[in-house]
Every structure is written in C-alpha cells, then in structure tokens.
Structure 1
Amino acid sequence: MESKRIVILGAGYAGVSAAKLLNKKFKKNTEIKVTLIDKNPYHTLMTELHEVAGGRVEEDSVQVNLRKIFRRSSVNVVTDTILKVDFEGKKLVSETEEYPYDYLIIGAGSEPAYFGVPGVKENGFSLWSLEDAVEIREHIPKMFKLAAVEKNLKKKDEMLTFVVAGAGFTGIETMGELAEWKDKLCRHYDIDKNHVKLKVVEAMGKVLPTLDDDSAAKAEHYMKKHGIEIILNSPIVQVNENSIVLKDGRSIPTRTLIWTCGVQGCKFAANLELGDAKRGRVQVNEKMQSMKYENVYMVGDNLYFEENGKPLPQIVETAMQTAETAVHNIAADIEGKEKKAFKSNYHGVMVSIGGKYAVANAGGIKTSGFFAMVMKHLVNMHYLFGIGGINVVWDYLVHEFFNMKDGRTIMGSHLSQKSQTIWLVPFRIFIGVLWLIEGIGKIKQGWLKGDHIYIVATSAVSGASEKVGDVASSASQVVKEAQKAAEATQTALLAHPPEIYTSFMNTFIAPYAHFFQVMIVLGEVALGLAFIAGAFTFLASLGSIFLCCNFILSAMGGKEILWYIFGAIVLMGGSGRSFGLDYYIMPWLEKLWRGEFRKKQIQKI
C-alpha cells in the first residue's frame, strides 16, 4: 500500500475521536502516518468548564494530556499553532514548521457568538475555553471580597448581582455552579446570602429549549427553589460596565455578565476559503468532505450540514459521529471501498444544575435528581475510558468525588473525608505480627514438608491451625476433616463448605494439595512482613481478605475471623504511607503508571 499522511487539526472531541479511530483502523499498517496538531498539549473537556468557572474543581480536572491519551498508539502528537493551510500544496504552515498531508481533518472548534450586541466582549465574560473558566473563577470571589468592604449600597448591589445570559445547557449549568458556590462565599466574606442576586436572562420563552417540557420544567423549578431568578423573553441589547439593558428597556445593575447565548464556527476555519460558511461553519457534503477539496474533511463545530432540514447541533455527539464518518470515508478512499453518508444517532441529553442535581432524557428514559447525576457521571467516565483508559477515569473519580471540597457531589463529603494514616500504624503492625506468627507456627508444624497435609481451623484470635489427619491426595477428604474440626470447635460460620467450593477443591486442588498448603503458609508469612513493613498494603489487605474468605468457605472460619476482613478494608486506605515503605513505593509506582520514566528516556534519546 502507498504511504499516506493523515493530519488532524484540533484536539477537541472530534479531533481526538478521529485520531483514536484512525489508530485503531491502521495500527498494524506502518504506511499510514497519523498526526494530531493542537495549540495546547491537552484535550479540554468543554462540557465540564462550568465546574471550573463555578469553583467546584481545579482546571486540571478538565484537562487530559494528549500524550497520555496516545502514549500507546502510533499517533504523532504535535503542539503547534497553525497559521494557514496551503490546500494546493497540501500542507499546514505554522511559524516555524510545515506539515504535509494527503488527507486533512479539520476540527478547530468554535467560539462564542455575540450576535452584534454592543459591549458584550468588552464588559462580559464568555465560557468557551479553559482560560475563560479560570477568569470567571477568579472574578467571582473578587466581587464578594470587594462587596464585603463596600459602603456604597448601589455599588455593593452591582457587585453581588450575577447574570448569566442564555438558558441553554452551558448557561444553566454555570448558574447551577454559582448557586452552590454562593453559600460558601457568603460565609467566607460574611455577607448575607439574601443580598446576593442570581439571574438567568433568556431571549426565548423557555429554559433548556432542546429538552422536553417536563424535564425543562423540573430544572426551572429546582433553580427557582434555590433562589435563581429566571427572566424569559428578554433579549439583551446593551452591555455596559456596570449594567445590562434588556429589549423592553429594563436595566439590571451588575458587574458580572457571563455570556452563553450561542456559538459559531471559529474564525480560523471560516477564513480558509473552503466554500460557503454560515456563522463560521463551513459547508460540507453528506460524507463530511469540504465542497472544494475531496481530501479535506470537516468535523465537529466547524462544519455546516443540514439533516432533515435542520443544521447539525454543535454538541459532543455530533463531534464524535462526524469524526467517525470522516474516518470511515478516508479509510474507504485508501482501501478502495465505498464511502458512506453521515447519519446521526443521538442518544439523549442531560444537564447538571450544580453537583447534586441534574435532569436527563437519554435513550427515552427521563430522570432527574440523583439518578440523572449518576447517569451524567457514567457517560463522562464512558467517554474518558474510551480516550484514555482506566487511568483517566480514576483521575475523574478523584476530582469529582475523592478530592471534592464542600460536599458538592451527589455523595456529599462522604467520599472526600480524609484521616491521618499515622493512627493506623499500630493496627497495621498488629495485624502483620499475627499473620507472621500464624505462618511461622505452620512452618514449625511441618506444613512445608511433603508427607503431611494440614487443615486450618480458626481460633478465637487468628485462625490457629491444628493437625487433623494425614491425607494422601484427595481434596474431598481434606474438606471432610475440615468439617470435623469446625464442628469440634463449634465456631464455624458455615456448617458445610458450599458444593461449588467442594467441587473446585476436587477439580483443581486435589492434584496439588501440598503446593496449595505451601502457598498458604508462604502467603501468611508474606502478609505479615508486608503489613509490618508497610509495603504494598493495599494488595496485602486484598490477600488477607482472600485467605479469610477461603477459611470461611472451607467451613473452618468462625465469626472471630470477620474482624480480619473489616480490618483489612480499613488498612486499604493508604496505611503503608505512614512509617511504611509505601511512602516511597507508591509515588514511584504512580510515576511508572503515568509513563513519566518512559518520557524521560524518550527525552534523553
């Protein structure tokens, strides 16, 4: 096959999806070179920017490093700013480099649409980049801080009035974050929360117009219940430094206007001279090809294409599905197969109002409150797993739950409470000593010798073992002897081993009875040493739970053994990081897991 160069411009939802799909399609074909170019070294989760703007999470929670996404792929990630595209010469040009291509996918994103309203750019905030979100997050506390010492009531009212223009997804989600953040800021700056005014101003007659009426009504009710004023049928016609003016002549004094009234294709894509552009969106055919060049594809917010008489919505699903169509057709062209037309397959919509409430209509299922928020988190994790695997999903869980401050999640602060692991050190060492004594005791009894088989019967403290018989090779006989030992002690949680467990013993353990016995002994010694040294305590805790469950299933474990299980659960929470080897081991493993050592090796090369 002839060598082909595919270049993707833009690492948004569409660009990342296209790169992932191309890598999957051509991962075994070294003749296909895929390059992803973006001005930033990270992929931004645009749908979560409101969380940053509302002070719920830090900016790194909505950033996914591109090299983390593609570290195990053949995709070449380039951080550069493209200044122009030479379509005749088939190359992208930056200030210092040129990037030739055979196929080009443009997913350069979009930008806010201001609809010619004077003063918006100069006096308002947009929310369409990470920089925008950080600027809003820094501005909001500043207003509270100034208002706390302001004596002029008129100026104080302006400072404590926060207006979001637009009642679409971005506007409602942003206002939901501000409503939650408000209480904390009022406490911190000693401001009566009744003095804080939150307003959503919408030109149309309904909030969340793309949602069904029932879901939109629930969202509106929730916002009003939490002190948010909703002003409908009121286009903004002027934005001043200290106020906004509505079409009906009303003026709202405010020093904070967050503009979320719509987006348009970015100027870069609109100025490429690829044909007609509507609101910055370039016209494409049903195969996502530009009208001027067959080898140039548009994806995501950059394209304009009508389906059933309506332009494609600028949402994440559109971005990913147009990327899939573009990739399919590029692959078809390379392989000489038939191209396909785009056909949307939207699964629904969901919108969060703060960290504890959401409304959703996905797959025909309407939900609100807790379950809608769960659905939203699951959808986010599904997407993150697709682009970055379990590592990126774990980062999301840490940001959204385990490190979340002020209880701004559906789980409140239950998952984010922290405790000093130093208090677990005595307990960890105690557990380790008991396991070590148990293992050494078995060694003295001859468990490592091949001429005897011993069965464990739990004692009141740690499951001390006793010799119950010399077994030739039958695991079923071993189990019977275990039952007798358990009946003698009158402490077993189970009267008899479950049938499935007995069957497993007969099938897999009988031929290797002595090996199984040795592994138990060595496992107990290893657990003891690991707990005492504080090394790999999470894995040691899992091993402790496994052995205890095995004792219980063998009808040898009494109720006294249960505290071993629950104790191991407690020790999972980083107990080895205080006065233990995990203090050194875990940071090293984290760096290894994130590929930092590999990065250093590559840099040296």
Structure 2
Amino acid sequence: MAKTKIVVVGAGYAGVFGTKTLSKKLKKNPDVEITLIDRHTYQTMMTELHEVAGGRVEETAIQYDLQRLFCKRKNVKLVTDNVTSIDKENKVVITENGEYPFDYVMLGMGGEPNDFGTPGVKENGFTLWSMDDAIKLRHHIQDTVKKAALEPDAEKRKAMLTFVVCGSGFTGIEMVGELIDWKARLAKDNKISADEISLLVVEAAPTILNMLDRNDAGKAERYLEKKGVKIIKSSAIVEVGSETITLKSGDVIPTHTLIWTAGVQANSDAKEFGMESARANRLVANEFMQAKGFEDKGVYVVGDLVYYEEFENTPTPQIVQAAEGTGHCAAKNIVAEINGQEKEAYKGNYQGFMVSIGSKYGVACLFDKIHLSGFLAIAMKHIVNLKYFFDIRSGYYAFQYMMHEFFRVEDERNVTHGHSSRNSNVLWSVPLRIFYGLVWLVEAMKKVVGGGEYLKPSTWFGEGSWFSDTVAFPFEWLKDADAATGASAAGDAAAGTDAGAVADAAQFGLSYAYGEEPMLVFDHMPKWFSSLMEFMMPNKEVALFMQKFMTIFEVLIALALIAGLFTWLSSATTIALVAAFCLSGMFYWVNIWFIPVAFALMNGSGRSIGLDKWVVPWLQRKLGKWWYGDVKSMYGQEK
C-alpha cells in the first residue's frame, strides 16, 4: 500500500507547529510520511531578531536546530533545500535539488519586508526579517560607531551617530529598545559620549503601536521619550539615500543607518506558485486553511503567507499566535481528511499583545483586560516564549533560552537588571552569603545578649556578655590579672572547656558527631602569637575594650554579608578573624568551613541581590576618574 505523503514547506512558527501536530496525531499511522523542507537546518525565533541585531545575544541563541526539535519524531523527514515551485496538478513540490510528491502540502514560507516601492530602501536601508538581516545590521552599527569615533568632521560624525527606525510596529519599537540598551556599551567601547548617539523613530501614521490599547501605547511612547528617543509621527519616508533620508514634508535627516520595519508582505517566492493572492501578496485561503481554487489538491496555506478574512476586510494578523493557530488548524484538517472526519474552521485565539522596549521594560495587554508594563510585561513575554517550547515539546531549547536570556547576558541587559548574569553567575552563591552572614550575626548576638533574653533588650549586656566587666579572652596573663574577680572562670567558659581537658577528650572531625567533644584547632597559642596578643592586650582594660570592639565588628561584618555590601572585603576579613580565633585556641575544627566559604564568597557574590551591584561600580568610577581622569573622545566636542 502506498504511503500518504505530507510535505510542509517552511520551518517557521507555523511550519514547525503544524509539523509537530501532524507528527503527534499520526504517530500510530505507519502509512503516513511527513517531510519538512526549509532552506536552513534550523528554526529562527523571528520575534527575537532584534536581540541579535541589537548586540544582546549571539545568533545561536535564537536558532533552534531542526534535528533537535524533531529527534523523537520518527515519522518526520527533514530536508534542507530551497523550494522553487509547486506543481499542483501533479502534486509535486519542486526544489533546487529534487522533487517531493505529496498528497497534502502545507505552505508556510512566511513573509518578508515590504518597502512599498520607496526609492532607495533596497539599496541603502536595513531590514530585520532574517538572521542574515540581523547580523548584517549588527555589524553595520558596530562599524559605523567605530568610524564615527574617529571622524573629525562634526556634521558627518553626527549623521553617522544618528540611527533611524522607520515604522512603529512591534519590530520597530523593539529594535529601537535594543539600541537604547546598547548605546552605553557602544559609546564606552569607542570612547565617545552616549549622548552623541541619537535614536529616531519615523512613523507615517499619527500614532505608534497601533495594535495596542491606546493607554498601553502611551506608556511605551512616554518611556521612549524618557530614554531620549525622538518620535516623528505623521511623516512618511519618501526616499532613502546612502547618507540621508527624505520625509514627505521635504525635511531631510542626515543618517547612515535607516532600519526599515514599516511593513510585511508574503514571501515573494509564492508569486511563482500560481495561486490567488490578496493584499501584500498573501495567498488566499478558506476557513480550513485550504488554498482558494485548489481545495481538492490538498494544498494548505499557513502563517504570514495566508490571507483569510476572519472578519470583513480583516485578515489573520501576521503574528506568532496566528502562525501557530493556522499551522495547528491546517494540520488538524489534513488529519481529518486522512481519517475521513469532518474538518474544523479556523478560529483565532489571540490572548493578547506585548512589546518589549529593551531588556527591562515592556507593555502588554492580555485577554483585552489585563494591562501590564515594566518588569511584569517583560516577565510575561519570557513566560510566553517558554510556553512555545513547551508547546513544541523542546525542554532542551527552553533551558537554552533561559540561559541566554537570564544568565549569559552582558551589561545587565536582562529583566533581572543583571542580578542573574554576572561572570560566574554568582546568583547561586546568594543563599550561602546570606546564611553565612546570619551565622556571624547569631554568634555576635550571643556575645551581646549573654545570659539575657533575645526578645528583651533590657536584659542584654549582663552576665556572660562581652559587654560586661568580665574578660572573656582565655589568655593566661589576663587570667592572672583578673583572678580576684573570677575572670579565669569566665575565660574557661568562653573557651568551652579547659584546653588540657579538651586535648584529652576531644576528637578530630570536620563535622559534629553526636556525643563527641569537638577538637580545637590549636589547644594552646603559639609563642609568637601569644606575644603579639599580650602586646595588643596587655591588661584588663584594653581587653574589655577589644572584646566590645570585636563584637560590634562581627555584627557589622554579618550585616554587610547579608546585605551584600563590600562582600570581598568582609569575606577577606572573616578569614583573618577565623585565623586569629584558631591561633587563640578559641576555634574548633568542625567550624573550619568558615574559611573556604569566605573564599567562595570573594567571587563577587554581593553583585547579585546585594548592594555591591551599585556601590562597587560607583566606587570604581569615582576612583578611576580620580586616578586616570576622564576618558575622552578623540574628536568629540568637550562636554
């Protein structure tokens, strides 16, 4: 019996989603063969191209290998090739390197930029509709800023540092958002002022982000203006030159970078397929996603390529939710045809719209009633992206997405403002840092409270406290000096037991075992250290001052560790303190972990959820400026 052949053309959102649906629903049917054809070996997460173009992530962060996506789908065959035509009568997909007969074909080649015939866009503008576009734009921006930093002509320099985005849809606003975040890094690397870099959005309509609720769009507009982006509305671009753009009003804006995001149309390859098309060259389909005029040929159209009017004069939007929905609908109807079942009409399920403006701010409207902005909107965008990986059953790429978006990002360009993305990812040491600080705080408070009650400050500083008039240090010369007042007994209590007795009964161990007496690191002070301590604390008065000072110092170290303030210095100090306690005969082997933990926290753990994230860079800037002076541009004007 001949197998039923299904060919899917295009591995975008619609193609991958549709293929996954087909594979799942037909996995028990051995007489079905599914072939997915794409010119690339990977799927590109098109909604995140601006992150590559804007220097936030590398291209591999949004490329998902098709072999990994379909590794468990034994009924799916992958083909890397370019489709040149569709022979609908003979039901064959023709590629540059072969032919693929089909019983059903799903066309999902996606879309491409629409320049509306504007002169100069193709020659001088930059688009953002493929990985090649994103990489080309990224390199252009880097090279242009680098050249501008060495350009002595002020006017030419200004034009080179002016970046214009045409179009205020999602792609355009997300692109300018990335430039907002990237601006400081570009300026720093090229020794110019970030204020010299100008960002403009040019929109032909009188409003921006027209798919959003007006209040949400207003929030986005205010944020852009706050970040220094100039928004020019009701101004169509009529010509793009190599170093200028011309507006319909006749105004000319000098710039070397025009990023065109003003429109989208169906993939131009579809023109050769001989099917009925509508606005923006999209292929017309019925409610089942079948190509109009070829319903009996098993031809289905999905994603940005399809033109189906859900409502009068309103086609399916060219967004991810529609791509996934049309892909799912076409797949279900192909399965229905194979199984002799009733087909289902497409019904859009658009749960909301959201736009990110850089890595830290966004606006979103969910279910037409939940409005989010700022952190919550960006967090929701990440949740939606992660849901996509869940939908296509790819835990591997869900993990990779989280690594790239939260942990492997430089310059604090993520939703956590850098708390989760420092060099060795010190986020994981935060619980240890806080616990370590609490240990020090508890031990210090014992010295403060003494025999009193923790919840009654009026009982503090009494008997057993290091703030009393009893010397707590177990040093022989202080015992002799304080014999009349019983300081020797207090010293023995502070030490835990008599050193000789401990030496006889204690057992070595790096962790406490029930019933054992822990062993001191040193049961007596080395002579050189004893001489040093006697020099520092020659009498009772000095010793009483030192034990009060040490207690306050331990409290301050504890609070600094908990708050993540001067963590490197605090950790280094604790190592010195522990070493001193060991040499003084006041520290047990079971607590020697204090030292390696302090070393571990010296990796900058205060930079994550700690005050060091702001304090240390501020000090570095101030001290660097004091020591080296300001780093100045070679040709920039004095600020």
> 350, 356, 377: which is aligned to 2:354?
350
1:415-450 residue CA offsets vs partner (Å, 9 max, x unmatched): 2223499xx9xx9xxxxxxxxxxxxxxxxxxxxxxx
CA RMSD in angstroms, aligned pairs only: 2.5
The question of 1:97 aligning with 2:146 is answered: no
Amino acid at match of 2:311: N
1:85-104 residue CA offsets vs partner (Å, 9 max, x unmatched): 11111111123211111000
The question of 1:403 aligning with 2:408 is answered: yes
1:521-552 residue CA offsets vs partner (Å, 9 max, x unmatched): xxxxxxxxxxxxxxxxxxxxxxxxxxxxxxxx
Q: Structure 2 CA distance, aligned partners of 1:89 and 1:241? A: 47
Matches of residues 230-241 of structure 1 in structure 2 within 5 Å? 230-241=231-242
Q: Secondary structure at the match of 1:271?
A: helix
Contact 1:299 1:326 in 2 (8 A): yes
Matches of residues 439-588 of structure 1 in structure 2 within 5 Å? 462-465=511-514
Structure 1 residue 270, shift from structure 2 partner: 2.6
Matches of residues 112-261 of structure 1 in structure 2 within 5 Å? 112-261=113-262
The question of 1:412 aligning with 2:417 is answered: yes
Contact 2:18 2:327 in 1 (8 A): yes
Q: Structure 2 CA distance, aligned partners of 1:373 and 1:260? A: 22
Contact 1:109 1:266 in 2 (8 A): yes
Q: Structure 2 CA distance, aligned partners of 1:55 and 1:47? A: 15
For residue 390 of structure 1, what is the aligned residue in structure 2?
A: 395
Describe the shift of the 1:230–1:41 C-alpha distance in structure 2 as closer, same or farther (beyond 3 A).
same
Structure 1 residue 193, shift from structure 2 partner: 2.1
The question of 1:13 aligning with 2:13 is answered: yes
Structure 1 residue 461, shift from structure 2 partner: 5.7
Q: Secondary structure at the match of 2:210?
A: coil
Amino acid at match of 1:374: A
Contact 2:40 2:81 in 1 (8 A): yes
Q: Secondary structure at the match of 1:134?
A: helix
User: Which deviates the most, 274-283 or 310-319?
Assistant: 274-283
Q: How many residues align?
A: 443
Q: Structure 2 CA distance, aligned partners of 1:228 and 1:276? A: 38
**Structure 1, unpaired ranges of 5+:** 428-458, 468-559, 574-605
Q: Structure 2 CA distance, aligned partners of 1:20 and 1:328? A: 11
For residue 448 of structure 1, what is the aligned residue in structure 2?
A: none
Q: Structure 2 CA distance, aligned partners of 1:80 and 1:154? A: 47
For residue 296 of structure 1, what is the aligned residue in structure 2?
A: 299
Structure 1 residue 155, shift from structure 2 partner: 1.1
Matches of residues 301-380 of structure 1 in structure 2 within 5 Å? 301-309=304-312, 310-363=314-367, 364-380=369-385
The question of 1:64 aligning with 2:64 is answered: yes
Contact 1:54 1:178 in 2 (8 A): yes
Structure 1 residue 196, shift from structure 2 partner: 1.5
Contact 1:270 1:281 in 2 (8 A): no
Structure 1 residue 2, shift from structure 2 partner: 6.4
Contact 2:287 2:345 in 1 (8 A): yes
Contact 2:85 2:272 in 1 (8 A): no
Q: Secondary structure at the match of 1:151?
A: coil
Structure 1 residue 396, shift from structure 2 partner: 0.5
Amino acid at match of 1:173: E
Q: Structure 1 CA distance, aligned partners of 2:333 and 2:118? A: 40
Q: Structure 1 CA distance, aligned partners of 2:242 and 2:423? A: 43
The question of 1:85 aligning with 2:59 is answered: no
Amino acid at match of 1:360: A
Q: Secondary structure at the match of 1:122?
A: helix
Structure 1 residue 3, shift from structure 2 partner: 2.6
**TM-score under structure 1 normalisation?**
0.70
Structure 1 residue 465, shift from structure 2 partner: 4.6
Structure 1 residue 413, shift from structure 2 partner: 2.2
Q: Secondary structure at the match of 1:43?
A: strand
Q: Structure 1 CA distance, aligned partners of 2:424 and 2:88? A: 59
Q: Secondary structure at the match of 1:416?
A: coil
For residue 477 of structure 2, what is the aligned residue in structure 1?
A: none
Structure 1 residue 278, shift from structure 2 partner: 2.7
Contact 1:288 1:298 in 2 (8 A): yes
1:282-308 residue CA offsets vs partner (Å, 9 max, x unmatched): 111111101122200000011111111
Describe the shift of the 1:382–1:463 C-alpha distance in structure 2 as closer, same or farther (beyond 3 A).
farther
Q: Secondary structure at the match of 1:279?
A: helix
Q: Secondary structure at the match of 1:318?
A: helix
Contact 2:237 2:245 in 1 (8 A): yes
Contact 2:37 2:79 in 1 (8 A): yes
For residue 44 of structure 2, what is the aligned residue in structure 1?
A: 44
Q: Structure 2 CA distance, aligned partners of 1:287 and 1:39? A: 27
Amino acid at match of 1:104: V
**TM-score under structure 2 normalisation?**
0.67
Q: Which has the larger radius of gyration?
A: 2
Q: Secondary structure at the match of 1:121?
A: helix
Describe the shift of the 1:134–1:244 C-alpha distance in structure 2 as closer, same or farther (beyond 3 A).
same
Amino acid at match of 1:192: S
For residue 28 of structure 1, what is the aligned residue in structure 2?
A: 28
Structure 1 residue 277, shift from structure 2 partner: 3.5
1:245-294 residue CA offsets vs partner (Å, 9 max, x unmatched): 11111110000000000100011113211223432101111111011222
Q: Structure 1 CA distance, aligned partners of 2:100 and 2:260? A: 36
Structure 1 residue 460, shift from structure 2 partner: 9.7
Q: Structure 1 CA distance, aligned partners of 2:213 and 2:346? A: 25
Describe the shift of the 1:121–1:420 C-alpha distance in structure 2 as closer, same or farther (beyond 3 A).
closer
Structure 1 residue 463, shift from structure 2 partner: 4.6
For residue 55 of structure 1, what is the aligned residue in structure 2?
A: 55
For residue 263 of structure 1, what is the aligned residue in structure 2?
A: 264
Amino acid at match of 1:354: G
Q: Structure 1 CA distance, aligned partners of 2:293 and 2:163? A: 45
Amino acid at match of 2:36: L
Task: Using the aligned pairs only, state the percent identity.
Answer: 47
Contact 2:407 2:425 in 1 (8 A): no
User: Which deviates the most, 36-45 or 185-194?
Assistant: 185-194
1:478-534 residue CA offsets vs partner (Å, 9 max, x unmatched): xxxxxxxxxxxxxxxxxxxxxxxxxxxxxxxxxxxxxxxxxxxxxxxxxxxxxxxxx
Structure 1 residue 412, shift from structure 2 partner: 2.1
Q: Structure 1 CA distance, aligned partners of 2:193 and 2:409? A: 25
1:231-257 residue CA offsets vs partner (Å, 9 max, x unmatched): 000001111111111111111000000
Amino acid at match of 1:26: L
Structure 1 residue 388, shift from structure 2 partner: 4.5
Amino acid at match of 2:94: V
1:139-193 residue CA offsets vs partner (Å, 9 max, x unmatched): 1111111111111122111101000000000000000001111111111111122
Structure 1 residue 366, shift from structure 2 partner: 0.5
Contact 1:270 1:277 in 2 (8 A): no
**Structure 2, unpaired ranges of 5+:** 433-507, 517-589, 604-639
Q: Secondary structure at the match of 1:11?
A: coil
1:440-480 residue CA offsets vs partner (Å, 9 max, x unmatched): xxxxxxxxxxxxxxxxxxx996352569xxxxxxxxxxxxx
Q: Structure 2 CA distance, aligned partners of 1:340 and 1:420? A: 49
For residue 277 of structure 2, what is the aligned residue in structure 1?
A: 276
Contact 2:410 2:422 in 1 (8 A): no
